[in-house]
Amino acid sequence: MDYKVSYTLFDCSKLSPGFITYIPENMETSINNFGDGSTTVRIETSKIINGQFLHDYDYIEITFLPRNVDKSYAIEKVKGLANKYKLKEEQKIFNWAIFQRNGVYGVIVLGEHEGRYFYIIIHPTLESSDMFNPIAKNVIKEFIWVDTGTRL
């Protein structure tokens, strides 16, 4: 089945570290800063059923860990999340990944940029994974760090 997707620029250049990418026009975004110094960027589809707005339908979540976090802590954090989401396969999807796990419920991948660790969760629903996974990979493929002009 052909599925046409129109993309729009998603500019997070004001974040530290800042980035830009392209996301589907119909996706919602949010940015949350937490007291521990972490920041989460969420790109999601939403679904309305019986008048109720449901989150956690399909999403990409990019979390920048606090600046003082070291590599071993970052790996343990991502391992814990991988277990929570039942992501146990070790198939290498992203070459830049320090650590990654995948499974039926998505992908979690740990990366590092200029000394700051981040992880990305790609979470499709079972019924939409064939459509959402290629979209999510396009969002990641178009990701550019604004400070260096490099891709992931």
16-61 pLDDT, tens digit each? 999 999 999 988 999 999 999 999 999 998 665 555 555 557 999 9
What is the SS3 assignment for 24? strand
Kindly compute the dihedral angle of the four CA atoms of residues 38, 42, 48, 53, in this order, to the nearest 10 degrees. 20
The tens digit of pLDDT for each residue in 103-116 reads: 888 999 999 999 99
| Average pLDDT value over all residues in the chain | 90
Does the structure show a pLDDT above 90 at 1?
no
On whether the pTM is more than 0.75, the answer is yes
Strands (E), the chain: 7-12, 19-24, 28-33, 39-49, 52-64, 99-103, 106-113, 116-123, 144-145
Q: In what order do the strands lie in the sheet with 7-12?
A: 7-12, 19-24, 144-145
Each residue of 138-149: pLDDT tens digit?
Answer: 999 999 999 999
- SS3 of residue 79 by DSSP: helix
